[in-house]
Structure 1
């Protein structure tokens, strides 16, 4: 009798194992796909990569497909035409869409960075930098209307420098070509993101003398946003996405620059580990990484001030017109 039962027990065990395996696969298939377009690939966005590397999105039941869309205009075009579901880009882009009278406005729902991410690099720097030194110089800036350029001009004006009159402002060079232009001899000063600023320091091509992030204050500088219609139709997915981002922000806040660098370096295969650590530490020290996803009203108003000063704002959109903090607030509960 035992000999007859044994084959059935073995077969039953195999069937149970097979069903269990199928169940796991089914679980993976049930992940909700979310297409995210980031405006550039940058260590400035470290919490985003932590969320992927630490499987925080998967823990929320999401399969995030991350694409670098290279530029604010291209990122917003991809979002508006349905090429991506969520964009990581500066909040000013949502305002530009709003000013054009969009029927389906773009809504900011989870902040990632809360300061400008650029630095002032001098070709020949003295012992102690003074902002007046920029007067009469050639300044290699960023694209007109973009957040880096607006934050840069806002800072210059705050130090009594008129960027249109007191220096020669160059801002017709493509974002990707700005470092090469400076390295080849264009400009006395340049406004750069990391890690290029630290690389130039390492190579002796320039020296970081000031931080535009520190100078321009807290802003909703880089935010996850989507069309209002997508958020309305995918509220649960938006909430899960925001939950993962908040967990990543907490992880970044609680870990060292070395630990963060090791987590995100797979996304930056050509970046030296020591440079990555220096960059991340610099951003942590100046508070660039937001501690939570909430876009508060004070930051929003600071952004509007910067845009107004740059002459890029037709009217001041109310905070609640383009910001939905309900997902961020729930993530904190």
Structure 2
């Protein structure tokens, strides 16, 4: 091949590469993301993506709004003040049942990681979930996944959500204080709150979905937890943007798999440690099995969540949700190909 042809071929290759890169650039660089309780380990992949600059690498400027619970961030998405949300997968099923086309695009947590603990003052009298009847139970926020799990627990015993009182306690310090001050009889919460209350002896753990065994014991199978979800019309309008956000979070999942609890503790903001770095590292160790390894939600996991919601939610008992509409796997699959 002549030198001129070589140069022409190289130039064409560069143009194609540039065109491909341009085609993949996010259509919307400024993204508003909502989360309910960012400091909780349930949402660790989000904090890692932010702190390690993985969103910036994708050409994004992500503005994160942190709410008291996942139900609040869902409201922001529906209301139009947010573009995307990291929240519980179950919200996509609820919204589909209401005619709102909300879809998950990446699984962050394969187990809920939610723990139900009974306050030490009530621990001796607790024998089964039936004993939750009449209790004041702390949750991150009413309507959030921590609330839904207890609703399911009550339904398995023939009880309803109205048989207990649910109190939103937010995350971290406020949740710990609510138990220590005797404001609650029980709590349904996440790490690092649970490890702190366990170590101090303030609660007796009665349900634990931080492990595969505990998740199967409660649900009879897998149960996807935190996901990245978004409106279908946003996916259609900004597919490259959705892919870029997915890529950033997928890279965070891969980083978490390889990182030690010490490395993770050194990466998150100082205030996440609650003044006790070793405790936070213990909470990370307890939480590591919960994070998704593929970013993909299994069909059995979708069904398990839907079956759970039908147990206690009258609005969903007779619903006909097409579960394929609750998760779009294209973005997680693409992230696995392109993220290194």
TM range (shorter): 0.7 to 0.9
Stretches of structure 2 lacking an aligned partner (at least 5 in a row): 1-26
Q: How far apart are 1:38 and its partner, in Å?
A: 0.8
> C-alpha distance in 2, partners of 1:283/1:125?
27
Match of 2:12 in 1: none
Judged with a 3 Å threshold, the aligned counterparts in structure 2 of structure 1 residues 187 and 69 are, in CA distance, closer, same or farther, namely: closer
Q: How far apart are 1:122 and its partner, in Å?
A: 3.0
Is residue 136–residue 164 contact of structure 2 (8 Å, CA) maintained in 1? Answer: yes
Match of 1:196 in 2: 193
1:118 aligns with 2:122: no
Alignment match of 1:222 (pick from 213, 226, 230): 226
> C-alpha distance in 2, partners of 1:248/1:131?
39
The 5 A counterparts of 1:1-333 are 32-41=29-38, 42-102=40-100, 105-124=101-120, 132-136=127-131, 139-141=135-137, 142=139, 145-155=143-153, 161-164=157-160, 169-171=164-166, 173-176=167-170, 179-213=176-210, 214=214, 215-216=218-219, 217-266=221-270, 268=272, 270-284=274-288, 287-311=289-313, 312-313=315-316, 314-333=318-337
What are the Cα deviations for residues 136-158 of structure 1, in whole angstroms up to 9, with x where unaligned?
A: 45544346654223323434665
TM-score (norm 1): 0.77
Is residue 121–residue 209 contact of structure 1 (8 Å, CA) maintained in 2? Answer: yes
Judged with a 3 Å threshold, the aligned counterparts in structure 2 of structure 1 residues 136 and 113 are, in CA distance, closer, same or farther, namely: closer
Q: What RMSD in Å do the two structures reach over aligned CA positions?
A: 3.1
Is residue 111–residue 222 contact of structure 1 (8 Å, CA) maintained in 2? Answer: yes
**Rg comparison, structure with higher value:** 1
> C-alpha distance in 2, partners of 1:267/1:230?
34
Judged with a 3 Å threshold, the aligned counterparts in structure 2 of structure 1 residues 223 and 48 are, in CA distance, closer, same or farther, namely: same
Q: Secondary structure at the match of 2:34?
A: strand
Q: Secondary structure at the match of 2:164?
A: strand
Q: Secondary structure at the match of 1:132?
A: coil
TM-score (norm 2): 0.76
Match of 1:11 in 2: none
Stretches of structure 1 lacking an aligned partner (at least 5 in a row): 1-29
